[in-house]
Structure 1
Amino acid sequence: MDSKCQRYSKSGGRRHRAIADAAHNPIFSYLLMSLLKLLYEHVQLSIAGLTPDTQTARQLRAQHREVMEAILGGDPPRAAAAAGQHMYFVRVRLNDLELRQGRRDLRPPQPPRN
Structure 2
Amino acid sequence: MSKLHNTFQVPRISDAVASALERRILEGSLKPGDRLPPERELAIELGVSRPSLREAIQKLASKGLVQSRQGGGTYVTDRLESTFLDTWQEMMGMHPNLREDLLEFRHMLEGQAAEWAAERATDADLTRLTQAFDAMNLASDADDLKRQSSTDIAFHQAIGEATHNIVIGHLSAALLRLMHDNIHLNLKELKTIPSASSALKSQHAAIHDAICEHKPADARAAAETHIDFVRESLAQSLRSASRRETAERRLQNDSSKTFAS
The reply to whether TM is greater than 0.5 is yes
Q: Over the residues paired in the alignment, what is the CA RMSD in angstroms?
A: 2.1
Residue 205 of structure 2 is aligned to residue 94 of structure 1: no
Does the C-alpha gap of structure 1 residues 95 and 32 become closer, same or farther in structure 2, counting only changes over 3 Å?
farther
Query: Contact conserved, 1:46 with 1:97, CA < 8 A, in 2?
Result: no
Displacement of 1:101 = 4.2
- Following superposition, the deviation at residue 30 of structure 1 comes to 1.4
What are the Cα deviations for residues 50-89 of structure 1, in whole angstroms up to 9, with x where unaligned? 39xx510000000000000000000111100100100111
Following the alignment from structure 2 to structure 1, what is the Cα–Cα distance between the partners of residues 173 and 237? 23
Pairs within 5 Å for 1:55-74: 55-74=195-214
Letter in 2 for 1:28: I
Within 1, Cα distance between the matches of 2:146 and 2:213?
30
Matched, 1:8 2:154: no
Q: Give the unaligned 5+ runs of structure 1.
A: 103-114
Residue 48 (structure 1) shift? 1.7
**2-structure distance, mates of 1:28, 1:10:** 19
- The question of whether the paired residues in 2 share the 8 Å contact of 1:71 and 1:79 is answered with yes
Q: Distance in 2 between matches of 1:14 and 1:97?
A: 25
When normalised by structure 1's length, the TM-score is: 0.75
Percent of aligned positions that are identical: 30
Matched residue, 1:46: 186
Deviation for aligned residue 1:37 = 2.4
Alignment partner, residue 223 of structure 2: 83
Greater alpha carbon shift after TM alignment, 54-63 vs 33-42: 33-42
- Give the structure-2-normalised TM-score: 0.35
Structure 2: stretches of 5+ with no match in the other structure: 1-142, 243-261
Structure 1 residues 97 and 42: alpha-carbon distance in aligned structure 2, compared to 1, 3 A threshold: farther
**In 2: Cα distance, 1:46 partner to 1:16 partner:** 15
How many Å apart are 1:94 and its aligned residue?
2.3
Kept in 1: contact 2:150–2:180 (CA 8 A): no
Q: Is the deviation greater in 80-89 or in 92-101?
A: 92-101
Assess if the C-alpha contact under 8 Å between 1:46 and 1:93 holds in 2.
Answer: no
